[in-house]
Amino acid sequence: MDKVKIEQFVRKQRAALVGSVDGNGFPNIKAMLKPRKQVGLKEFYFSTNTSSMRVQQFLNNPKASLYFFHQGLIRYTGVMLIGTMEVLTDQEIKNEIWRKGDTMYYKGGVTDRDYCILKFTAKKGRFYSDLKTDNFSVE
Q: For 89-134, how does the pLDDT look when each residue is reduced to its tens digit (9 = 90+)?
A: 999 999 999 999 999 999 999 999 999 999 999 999 999 998 899 9
> Phi and psi for 9 in degrees, rounded to 5?
-60, -50
Classify each residue of 66-97 as buried b or exposed e, where b means 16 or more C-beta atoms within 10 Å of its C-beta. Answer: bbbbeeeeeeebbbbbbbebebeeeeeebeeb
The pLDDT mean for the chain works out to 95
> What pTM, to 2 d.p., does this model score?
0.94
CA–CA separation, 113 and 21 (whole Å): 24
CA–CA separation, 45 and 126 (whole Å): 20
Q: Which pLDDT value is given to residue 75?
A: 86
